[in-house]
């Protein structure tokens, strides 16, 4: 962050003194006006619900240009990382450390993560406390938060080594917890991780093996899962990441912060969108029902949205959606599901929406979740677990952002202010007079 030559001046129509504010330049992207002295000088706050124009921090992890449809992790375009950037753990290393690993660094990192994949044996008692039909996100909020009770040796957030160990633990144990949530929901025994498998292959093993039959690894499907993880690994200061940062700003431990991120991700406008997109397709049912559905979407009073379409930042296209669409075709081809009715319905809906004036004028394009639900369904992942897979992928982004925040000398506890529109001071009346 460097100072710009230009300064911003805020003036008032009532003749109050104006305020000059510094402007900082990022490496790329919009400059920011430093308003930190605004309240002390003028007694006013800024008003920006939804943070439409507010940079809450400086960061060197992920950059998005919504108009260009560009997503960079540490400067590398997502298209290159997804195609030539190695597996998900290479992306994890990049997000955490700022550089792609060389062969020796990669080997060491993979070994470290692999050696932390088991969870404390007592964790299974937490799972057993849940109803079998509990939503996996509720189970994950609880069990990830509970990890803090087991790993006291890495909770000192002021110790860089503790932060590193917690980061590795979270990345390593998330697949185990997500798979345990699934196994519990279907009444099958938990499956322990296998250290001879890759991160994604091991996850599929824990999901789909049983004591009676091992899961046979399919390279195309493992690659597809790996791509889902890479595409969802980080996404700048989105709602769940900001939640993690805000929770962490008070000094909360990393397991609690990630549990807070999972809670936020659960919402249908964020991580719940892939689950909602698939449920929407199932509800529409057939291509003939699309026009009626589109009519409802356009009716503001219906409350119906085209899930998997639109994005707060991407107003041209979502680069992740393009890559996910490719993977979608690959997986359906591999499994001989090209004629899957749900996929055909999705393609018809996508075509109609992309040509419709309502969507075109509002710059609404398919986002990554429009396709990731179809891919996950083809991989055999149940709909209710889709957001859990998103949480698994995003854990590395959350923890990288959390680590960056803790080591930022400008870090302060997050404390937004408000425009108060409630009652002025008034006196409490005795009950008979109210
Ligand atoms: N279906 C129908 N209309 C929509 C949709 C949609 N999916 N998204 C936006 N609009 C309309 C909205 O009603 C508004 O219309 P008008 O100008 O007439 O009032 C206009 O488009 C602008 O929308 P907005 O609400 O100002 O956009 P936003 O930036 O606040 O919302 C969003 C972004 C992602 C919350 C929203 O597009 C949405 O709810 N999409 C569906 C849910 C979804 O797919 N979410 C996944 C996002 S990608 C995964 C992630 O990064 O978490």
**Nearest residue by C-alpha to atom 49 in ligand 1:** 270
Predicted confidence at residue 87, as pLDDT, reads 97
Q: Is the pLDDT of residue 1 over 80?
A: no
Per-residue pLDDT tens for 115-126? 999 999 999 999
At 56, the pLDDT band (50, 70, 90 cuts) reads very high
Does 120 participate in catalysis according to the annotation?
A: no
Q: How far is it, in rounded angstroms, from Cα 219 to Cα 389?
A: 19
> Of residues 14, 311, 339, 427, which has the active-site annotation?
311
Per-residue pLDDT tens for 353-408? 889 999 999 989 889 988 999 999 999 999 999 999 999 999 999 999 999 999 99
Q: How far is CA 328 from the centre of its chain?
A: 20
Predicted confidence at residue 125, as pLDDT, reads 95
DSSP symbols for 94-132: HHHHSS---HHHHHHHHHHHHTT----TTHHHHHHTS-T
Q: What is the mean pLDDT of residues 92-105?
A: 98
Question: How many angstroms does the Cα of residue 308 sit away from the middle of ligand 1?
Answer: 9
Predicted confidence at residue 312, as pLDDT, reads 85
Which of 270, 265, 245 has the alpha carbon at shortest distance from 403? Answer: 245
> Of residues 318, 369, 408, 427, which has the active-site annotation?
369
Q: Is the pLDDT of residue 434 over 80?
A: yes
**Nearest residue by C-alpha to atom 30 in ligand 1:** 312
Q: Is the pLDDT of residue 274 over 90?
A: no
60 Cβ contact list (under 8 Å, min separation 6)? 27, 74, 98, 404
Q: Is the pLDDT of residue 338 over 90?
A: no
The full set of domain ranges for the chain reads 7-55, 82-265+385-407, 272-379
**Nearest residue by C-alpha to atom 31 in ligand 1:** 312
Does 427 participate in catalysis according to the annotation?
A: no
Given ligand 1 and candidates 53, 239, 310, which is best to mutate, with the most ligand atoms within 8 Å of its CB?
310
Question: How many angstroms does the Cα of residue 35 sit away from the middle of ligand 1?
Answer: 29
**Nearest residue by C-alpha to atom 13 in ligand 1:** 300
**Nearest residue by C-alpha to atom 11 in ligand 1:** 362
- Residue pair 254/169 in contact (Cβ under 8 Å)? The answer is no
Index of the ligand 1 atom closest to the CA of residue 271: 52
Cα atoms in the Cβ-side hemisphere of radius 13 Å centred on 408: 19
Which of 399, 380, 400 has the alpha carbon at shortest distance from 179? Answer: 380
Please state the pTM of the whole predicted model: 0.92
Q: Is the pLDDT of residue 294 over 90?
A: yes
What lines the ligand 1 site, CB under 6 Å? 235, 238, 269-271, 273, 297, 305-312, 362, 364, 367-369
* CATH number for the domain whose boundaries are 272-379: 1.10.230.10
Q: Give the architecture-level CATH label for domain 82-265+385-407.
A: Orthogonal Bundle (1.10)
Is there a shared CATH topology between the 7-55 domain and the 272-379 domain? no
Index of the ligand 1 atom closest to the CA of residue 313: 29
Q: How far is it, in rounded angstroms, from Cα 381 to Cα 204?
A: 9
* pLDDT-wise least confident of 208-212, 244-248, 294-298, 344-348: 344-348
- Residue pair 345/287 in contact (Cβ under 8 Å)? The answer is yes
Question: How many angstroms does the Cα of residue 379 sit away from the middle of ligand 1?
Answer: 28
**Nearest residue by C-alpha to atom 28 in ligand 1:** 312
Question: How many angstroms does the Cα of residue 56 sit away from the middle of ligand 1?
Answer: 22
Average pLDDT, the chain: 94
Q: How far is it, in rounded angstroms, from Cα 399 to Cα 419?
A: 32
Question: How many angstroms does the Cα of residue 92 sit away from the middle of ligand 1?
Answer: 29
Index of the ligand 1 atom closest to the CA of residue 300: 13
Phi and psi for 309 in degrees, rounded to 5?
A: -120, 145
Which of 352, 356, 329, 349 has the alpha carbon at shortest distance from 285? Answer: 349
Which of 225, 223, 200, 205 has the alpha carbon at shortest distance from 215? Answer: 205
Q: Is the pLDDT of residue 306 over 80?
A: yes
Helix/strand/coil for 254: helix
Give the domain 7-55 fold: Rubrerythrin, domain 2 (2.20.28)
Q: Is the pLDDT of residue 343 over 90?
A: no
**Nearest residue by C-alpha to atom 50 in ligand 1:** 270
Question: How many angstroms does the Cα of residue 241 sit away from the middle of ligand 1?
Answer: 19
Q: How far is it, in rounded angstroms, from Cα 300 to Cα 306?
A: 12
Question: How many angstroms does the Cα of residue 421 sit away from the middle of ligand 1?
Answer: 27
At 269, the pLDDT band (50, 70, 90 cuts) reads confident
More confidently predicted of 410 and 413 = 413
């Amino acid at each position: 962050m460097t100072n710009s030559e230009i300064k911003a001046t805020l003036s008032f129509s009532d003749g109050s003194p104006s305020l000059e504010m510094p402007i900082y330049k990022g490496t790329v992207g919009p400059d920011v006006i430093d308003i930190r002295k605004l309240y002390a000088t003028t007694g006013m706050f800024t008003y920006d619900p939804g943070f439409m124009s507010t940079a809450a921090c400086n960061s060197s992890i992920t950059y998005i240009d919504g108009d260009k449809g560009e997503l960079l992790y540490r400067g590398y375009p997502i298209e290159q990382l997804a195609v030539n950037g190695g597996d998900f753990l290479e992306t994890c290393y990049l997000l955490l450390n700022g550089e792609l690993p060389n062969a020796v660094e990669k080997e060491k990192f993979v070994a470290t993560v692999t050696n932390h994949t088991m969870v404390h044996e007592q964790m299974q008692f937490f799972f057993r406390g849940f109803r079998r039909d509990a939503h996996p996100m509720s189970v994950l909020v609880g069990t990830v938060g509970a990890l803090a009770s087991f790993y006291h040796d890495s909770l000192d957030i002021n110790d860089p080594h503790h932060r590193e160990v917690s980061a590795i633990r979270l990345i390593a144990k998330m697949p185990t917890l997500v798979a345990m949530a699934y196994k519990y929901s279907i009444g099958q025994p938990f499956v322990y991780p296998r250290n001879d498998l890759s991160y994604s292959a091991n996850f599929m093993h824990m999901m789909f093996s049983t004591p009676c039959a091992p899961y046979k690894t399919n390279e195309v499907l493992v690659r597809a899962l790996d791509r889902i993880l890479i595409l969802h690994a980080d996404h700048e200061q989105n709602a769940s990441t900001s939640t993690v940062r805000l929770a962490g700003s008070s000094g909360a431990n990393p397991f609690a912060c990630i549990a807070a991120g999972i809670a936020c991700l659960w919402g249908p406008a964020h991580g719940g969108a892939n689950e909602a997109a698939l449920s929407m397709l199932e509800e529409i049912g057939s291509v003939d029902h699309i026009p009626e559905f589109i009519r409802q979407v356009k009716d503001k009073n219906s409350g119906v949205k085209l899930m998997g379409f639109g994005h707060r930042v991407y107003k041209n296209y979502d680069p992740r959606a393009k890559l996910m669409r490719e993977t979608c075709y690959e997986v359906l081809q591999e499994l001989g599901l090209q004629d899957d009715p749900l996929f055909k319905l999705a393609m018809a809906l996508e075509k109609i929406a992309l040509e419709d004036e309502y969507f075109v004028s509002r710059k609404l394009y398919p986002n990554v979740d429009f396709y990731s639900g179809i891919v996950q369904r083809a991989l055999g992942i149940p709909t209710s677990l889709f957001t859990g897979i998103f949480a698994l992928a995003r854990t590395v982004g959350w923890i990288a952002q959390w680590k960056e925040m803790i080591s930022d000398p400008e870090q302060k506890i997050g404390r937004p202010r408000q425009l108060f529109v409630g009652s002025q001071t008034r006196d409490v009346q005795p009950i008979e007079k109210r």
